[in-house]
Homo-oligomer: A and B are copies of this chain.
Amino acid sequence: MTDTTDLTVSGESLSYPEDLCPPDNFNMVSTWIYRSSFPKKKNFSFLKKLGLKSILTLILEDYPDQNMKFLKENNVTLFQFGIAGNKEPFVQIPDDKICAALAVLLDRRNHPILIHCNKGKHRTGCLIGCLRKLQQWSHTSIFDEYRRFSHPKSRSMDQQFIELFDSREAWKVIDPKWIPDWKTLGHHAGM
């Protein structure tokens, strides 16, 4: 294994694994979908274990060289739907980008996939919130999850964005042929 260091203790050769460091705010969202803050170099050995096929980033900026290298070495496709990471006063989150991002997320050819922005709190939280609407979660449950990951910086405007998001717009651009086999997807998906 590449993530172990060999130590010799009392004449015996023992292999001690290095600790794995998931990115801050890492979580499994659903089967084959993960979320996190911006992945740093120290997180790469953990991310390798996920066997990612894609990363979906919501940052506007170019991806740093070391992250591009990680993608290339591990054959990971990058999807970028750049959204400004504004603080309030709020700039409207573009619905069309969220819909396009959901279409990527719900295409199992892209799985396993990691979603991230910078802190994994607001832009990522909004996208996951909209995904939960497609999964027919109640708004209370969706906001609970949003706040768990955005704490202590939850934004009411993010929650309003999620509440007002019309999931029918997303279903228009999602290809039913490739949606994952989750029992938790709504009836719009024909499941």
Contact = CB atoms under 8 A, between A and B. Distances in A.
Interface of A: 1, 4, 15, 17-22, 24-31, 46, 49-51, 135-141, 144-145, 148-149, 151, 183-184, 186-187
A136 B20 contact: yes
B136 A19 contact: yes
Contact of A22 (B24, B25, B26, B137): B137
Given A17-B186, A20-B137, A50-B183, 20 more contacts: A4-B187, A17-B187, A19-B139, A20-B135, A20-B136, A20-B141, A21-B138, A22-B137, A22-B141, A24-B144, A26-B141, A27-B28, A27-B145, A28-B28, A28-B30, A28-B31, A31-B31, A46-B184, A49-B184, A151-B151
Given A21-B138, A141-B21, A151-B151, A51 B4 contact: no
B24 A137 contact: no
Contacts of A29: 28
